[in-house]
Amino acid sequence: MSLGCGLVSSQTVESFTWLFRAWLTYMVGRPPQTVITSQCKALQAAFPRAVYHSSRVDEFEAAWEEMVQSYRLMDHKWLQMLYEDRKRWIPVYLKEFFLAGMFAVKENERLTSPFEEYLSPHTSLKQFFSSYDRALLEINQRETLSDLESKNSSCMLKSRFYFELQLSRLYTNSIFKKFQDEIEGMYTCFSIRQMNIDGSIVTYIVKEDIQVEENWRETRDFEVMYNASDAEILCACGLFNFRGYLCRHALSVINQIGLEEIPPQYILARWRKDISRSYIFNHGCNGIDVNNPVHRYDNLYKSALKVVEEGRKSHDRYKFTIQSLDEILNKVRI
């Protein structure tokens, strides 16, 4: 979902100050909880082990120190600056922030913009505006078609866990396929050991066999805490906040303790296919330029989607909708 964008002529402090102030104005003074910026690609390639293979702060600190000592980089100014700013870009420090899949937390992971296929560094200003309007329209259409596909079809299950069936009925197909990666990942978790009981809170250690490099695998421990009083489950890997769905370690514990369903607080409305995306229909005829064919198309398309949404709800509504649409089409063609 695109709320808006800003076009800046240069990446300067002044430009970004203007951009954020304009954003605050349009959001009626409500600042964002998190601001995600693109990080230098060299960071991902330079020190993947310290950054992306650490699940705890002490692991990162030890790996970073080992890297600095091994390559004798103690006086390297750029690395010192990165280390001082570590709480803003190292995944292990960001687990408490909900990022909904918009932050790279794995090595070689690259997040792409939906506008990349429409724009390039050589796009002129005139081309930018026409391409941007077309991109918004086509992205919106793809999302709507994806929603309809999710409502009318479901993915093939990969296990016999009931919670996989549960979420196949609730999640959109695209997010469910990502969740299935965690279902498959449960088979790499080979040991679940209860470590501590503190009232209703039980702490488990889940061992996972992880392929770090092509010819190198290692076993890592992940701490998972489960609170039976409110069905809260937290894993040290932090995947739920990074991605918006439970990780293989938490799922392994859920299966171990005999829970059949995912607790409702871990099924986010943003991923559900039974939630109508009302934000699509955000303006009427008075809010568009009727002389602009793109705006006409956009508004007609969104209005038609309302009819589709209502017409699919029953057999009688479907028949009435089809009949009405045929009548409208005949009248429009005259």
Q: Which of 230, 249, 271 is the last residue of a domain?
A: 271
Four-residue CA torsion sign, 262, 263, 266, 269: positive
H or E segment at 207?
Answer: strand 201-213
67 and 87 together in one domain = yes
Contact assessment for residue 267 and residue 288, using Cβ atoms and an 8 Å cutoff = no
pLDDT in tens, 182-216: 999 999 999 999 999 999 999 999 999 988 777 88
Domain count, the chain: 3
Phi first, then psi: give them for residue 227, nearest 5 degrees: -105, 110
Calculate the average pLDDT of the chain.
Answer: 83
**Domain-embedded: residue 21:** no
Which of 77, 93, 109 corresponds to the end of one domain?
93
Average pLDDT over residues 114-129: 79
> Which range has the worst mean pLDDT, 19-28, 179-188, 222-231?
19-28
Do 265 and 285 belong to one domain?
no
Q: Which of 46, 68, 93 lies at the terminal end of a domain, its last residue? A: 93
Tell me the two tokens of residue 167: 């979420």
Average pLDDT over residues 249-255: 98
168 and 255 housed in the same domain: yes
Domain that includes residue 286, residue range: 278-334
The two three-digit tokens of residue 251, written as one number: 């799922």
Residue 8 lies in a domain: no
| Range from 47-61, 268-282, 283-297 that averages highest in pLDDT | 47-61
Q: Which pTM was predicted?
A: 0.65
User: Angle 248-256/173-185 helices, nearest 10 degrees?
Assistant: 70
Question: In this structure, are 242 and 173 located in the same domain?
Answer: yes
Interatomic CA distance for residues 161 and 251, integer angstroms:
10
pLDDT digits (tens, 9 = 90+) for 132-179: 878 888 887 888 788 888 888 889 999 999 999 999 999 999 999 999
Residue 138 inside a domain? The answer is: no
**H-type helices in the chain, by residue range?**
13-26, 41-46, 48-52, 57-70, 77-84, 125-152, 162-168, 173-185, 239-243, 248-256, 293-311, 315-333
What pLDDT is stored for residue 207 in this prediction? 97
Say what the alpha-carbon torsion angle 232, 236, 242, 245 is, to the nearest 10 degrees: -40
Residue 77 lies in a domain: yes
